């Protein structure tokens, strides 16, 4: 194996292992966000505040935060392979673990703040519209509009940025943390609408997470382009899979 290939393996193996472990834990839970039964059956209630109290009793903030962090680890870890490699390539070997940890901390901070808002929005939507699929349907339209918008492309383009980073010392630590925060912010901007969908689906939470994760990973394979109104999908990923499938020898 070439040195470059070995370096890629050093990054990909732990990142994908973390993602796989998180997916296993998510699958073991496989319940999604627990809400009162009447929220999914459409029954009416006279005290909405009592319903919110019941939601928070079933889902303490600490439990919601832990679940969201696990969801991020499963879905977002593969998206960090390229920026983590960028950091490692520009840092002295003795400081690589520290700057990567700072980058991940900054990235996670951005997404945990966004998660608090997305979880609050999901709870509000499922309490305001207590019917199984209506909240998801209501979120699907904004997600579609955001998917084709120029703003989405701006965020995707920023996710590809690889800034100059200091190689050592305090400057390297600050640069890594700042890179993590800003990369997380642009990642939130790109992904927030799709990340809301698994929080609203009444059934098939894990399957929806997997579909969204594959879609987000496929988007990052595309090159940056000028922002405009256009459909953005996993075109390059499909072409790669098709090309590799075509390379397989046919058995007669």
Whether residue 108 lies inside any domain: the answer is: yes
Distance CA 164, CA 141 (A): 38
Residue 231 has phi, psi (to 5 degrees) of -70, 135
pLDDT tens for 77-105 read: 999 999 999 999 988 888 899 999 999 99
Residue 247 confidence (pLDDT): 63
Measured torsion, CA atoms of residues 145, 149, 155, 159, in degrees rounded to the nearest 10? 90
Residue 46 confidence (pLDDT): 38
Of the candidates 8, 22, 191, the one whose C-alpha atom is nearest the C-alpha of residue 115 is 191
Whether residue 56 lies inside any domain: the answer is: yes
Helices (H), the chain: 3-29, 37-41, 48-58, 61-76, 81-89, 96-128, 134-148, 150-159, 169-200, 205-220, 235-247
User: Count of CB atoms within 10 A of residue 213's CB?
Assistant: 23
In three-state secondary structure terms, 237 is helix
Domain of 193?
A: 7-247
Residue 131: DSSP 8-state: B
Q: What angle do CA 76, 81, 85 make, to 5 degrees?
A: 145
What are the average pLDDT values for consecutive 10-residue runs of the chain, which has 252 residues? 77 94 88 44 41 76 91 96 93 91 98 96 84 84 96 97 92 96 98 94 90 95 94 83 70 48
Residue 59 confidence (pLDDT): 76
pLDDT tens for 29-58 read: 765 554 443 333 333 333 455 577 777 777
Whether residue 1 lies inside any domain: the answer is: no
**Into how many domains does the chain fold?**
1
Q: 41 forms bridges with which residues in the sheet?
A: 131
User: Count of CB atoms within 10 A of residue 203's CB?
Assistant: 10
Residue 167 confidence (pLDDT): 87
Residue count (the chain): 252
Of the candidates 87, 64, 115, the one whose C-alpha atom is nearest the C-alpha of residue 183 is 87
Distances from the Cα of 125 to the Cα of 16, 37, 42, 120, 251, angstroms: 33, 15, 13, 9, 53
Whether residue 2 lies inside any domain: the answer is: no
Buried b (16+ CB within 10 A) or exposed e, 100-133: bebbbebbbebbeebbeebbebbbebbbebbebe
Residue 109 confidence (pLDDT): 98
Whether residue 252 lies inside any domain: the answer is: no
């Amino acid at each position: 194996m070439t040195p470059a290939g070995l370096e890629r393996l050093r990054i990909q193996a732990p990142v994908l292992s973390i993602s796989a472990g998180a997916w296993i834990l998510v699958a073991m839970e496989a319940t999604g966000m627990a809400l009162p039964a009447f929220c999914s059956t459409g029954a009416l209630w006279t005290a909405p505040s009592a319903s919110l109290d019941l939601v928070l009793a079933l889902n303490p903030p600490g439990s919601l935060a832990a679940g969201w962090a696990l969801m991020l680890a499963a879905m977002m870890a593969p998206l960090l392979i390229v920026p983590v490699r960028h950091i490692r390539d520009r840092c002295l070997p003795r400081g690589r673990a520290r700057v990567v940890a700072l980058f991940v901390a900054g990235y996670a901070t951005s997404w945990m703040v966004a998660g608090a808002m997305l979880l609050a929005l999901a709870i509000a939507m499922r309490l305001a519209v207590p019917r199984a699929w209506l909240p998801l349907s209501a979120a699907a339209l904004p997600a579609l509009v955001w998917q084709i918008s120029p703003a989405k492309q701006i965020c995707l383009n920023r996710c590809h940025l690889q800034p100059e980073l200091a190689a050592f010392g305090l400057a390297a630590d600050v640069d890594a943390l700042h890179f993590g925060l800003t990369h997380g912010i642009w990642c939130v901007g790109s992904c927030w609408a799709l990340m809301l969908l698994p929080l609203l689906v009444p059934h098939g939470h894990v399957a929806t997470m997997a579909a969204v994760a594959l879609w987000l990973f496929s988007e990052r394979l595309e090159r940056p382009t000028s922002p405009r109104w256009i459909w953005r999908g996993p075109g390059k990923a499909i072409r790669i899979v098709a090309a590799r499938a075509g390379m397989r020898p046919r058995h007669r």
